Structure 1
Amino acid sequence: MPTLQVGRKELPYELRRSATAKERRITVTPGHIEVLALASDNEEDVAGFLYRKRQWVFNTVRDMERITANRSSVPRFITGSKIPFRGRNMSLTVRRTDAERAAVSFKNRFIVDLPHWAGVDADRLVASELKHWLKQRVRRDVQEIAAGFGERFGLVPRSIRITDMVHGWGSCGLQGNILINWNLIFAPRKVLEYVVAHELTHLRHRTHGHEFWSLLAAVDPSFEASKMWLDTNQSYLMADFLGEG
């Protein structure tokens, strides 16, 4: 494995070349450095890039070592933490990169790439980026679910908005505007489908009478199990998973 010499310290790194990458990138995680190079780069190109980034790499590795040595006092959002998502706890990996902006990706786990300017205590930034990503995802999910129900049952709202709700999981206004609690991203998808179906059903029946429940059963035949899950896990869903405190 090649190494980067910074003063007296040798830092081993993994070199990976990409034919699709548009720029070189360095990613640092506890105990590992990855250098992404362009397919056209020769050894001098890579060496020059690493030389220019050597101080940042050294400082970042030192910060990672400090975090690992003091895990009892570090923020919650570190590599190995668990993030609830669609009814499951998914692993989190936090990486340091030389990029200008933070980025979140998901492939059977959450990966948060922190920009070079993020300090050692980047907990708030990780929480903020995760919250933004999760809100975007639940918005997409709700739109897909509502479109499917709308096509099949003719239940088309005037608008659907994802929002923070202190009480309740959703609402349907008199004008057909629907609100959905974004915390439902932490629940299984079937539960989210139930809440969307419930509010769409209110487009036709305002009260919870027999006709309402009959139509809801047609829209979502398994709604009773989802409703029971919500009743049982209400306090869990409203927990401050991504609080910045």
Structure 2
Amino acid sequence: MPEYKDISYALKRSKRKTSSIYIERDGSISVMVPENLSDTQVEDMLEKKRFQIYKHLADWEDANYNRVYREFVSGEGFYYLGRSYKLEIVSEQEVPLKLKNGSFRLRKKDLPKAKEVFKEFYREKGKTKILKRVKFWQEKIGVAPKEVKIMELQNRWGSCTPQGNVNFHWKTIMAPLTIIDYIIAHELTHLIHPNHSEAFWNELDKVIPDYHRHKSWLKLNGAGMDL
């Protein structure tokens, strides 16, 4: 991993035209730059953005006070659409996991692979609910993504590729619908502005005027949306 002074970061070069610095959800720093940008230019950028990087790292540390480490035991709470449902371990049922009568029910024989079972549940629910909201927001924003995927995105809620595809982390379905809408609108707006410039935020403001509130909610509560 490259390091500039006291800043360690993961560097990725691509055919993109702009440079971006991200504080990932695990607190690591990712730097994405055009493939022709030299190492010296990357370091110059880091130096210019040093104050912002420190500020975002401090914000990350504040947000991660709310991180929750869950166990797959009866009574543990798991999020779905912003609400926490208690887990119940059951002897028999036709599927590994279901949400029924206000609780998650996990089949006992599937306990050894409980984390994967939950991930699959969130992926499947995300395919239906998130794709439906994408259709709503793409009409409102005036864009048309080529492809939409629900997948593992490491430490990001969503991503927008240079090819015009948008991806969403399966964890997104844990959040309240208003936050899901913000994440979706955010990524779709990147089809117009691929960076976080003032123009990007102005464009997002047209469809979600209170995006600041949703952005703050994610910073404060996002760490709790995990397995």
Q: Hey, what does 1:215 align to over in structure 2?
A: 203
Match of 2:87 among 75, 88, 92: 92
Contact 2:179 2:214 in 1 (8 A): yes
- The CA RMSD measured in Å over matched residues stands at 2.3
SS of the equivalent of 1:112 reads strand
Using the size of structure 1 for normalisation, the TM-score is: 0.57
* Cα shift at 1:78: 3.4
Is the alpha carbon distance of 1:225 and 1:77 closer, same or farther for their aligned partners in structure 2, counting shifts above 3 Å?
A: same
Q: Report what 1:80 is aligned to.
A: 75
For residues 1-245 of structure 1, what are the structure 2 equivalents within 5 Å? Answer: 76-97=71-92, 102-114=96-108, 118=109, 122-237=110-225, 239=226, 241=227
Q: What is the Cα deviation at residue 202 of structure 1?
A: 1.0
Say which structure, 1 or 2, has more relative contact order (CA 8 Å, 6+ apart): 2
Offset of residue 170 of structure 1: 1.3
Q: State the aligned residue count.
A: 158
Contact map agreement 2:145 2:166 (CA 8 A) in 1? yes
Contact 1:86-1:187 at 8 Å conserved across structures: yes
Q: Give the SS at the match of 1:179.
A: strand
Cα 1:77–1:175 change in 2 (3 A) is: same
Letter in 2 for 1:141: K
Larger Rg: 1
Matched position secondary structure for 1:157: coil
- State the alpha-carbon separation in 2 of the partners of residues 102 and 199 from structure 1: 32
Deviations 1:146-188 (A, max 9, x none): 1001222322101111121223221111111111122222222
Distance 1:222 1:195 in 2: 13
Q: Please state how far the C-alpha of 1:196 moved relative to its aligned partner.
A: 0.8
Instruction: Give the ranges of 4+ consecutive aligned residues of structure 1 lying more than 3 Å apart after TM superposition.
Output: none
For 2:106 and 2:87, how far apart are their aligned partners in 1? 8
Q: Where in structure 1 are there 5+ consecutive unaligned residues?
A: 1-74
The 1-side partners of 2:174 and 2:142 are apart by: 28
Asked if structure 2 preserves the Cα contact closer than 8 Å seen for 1:163 and 1:179, the reply is yes
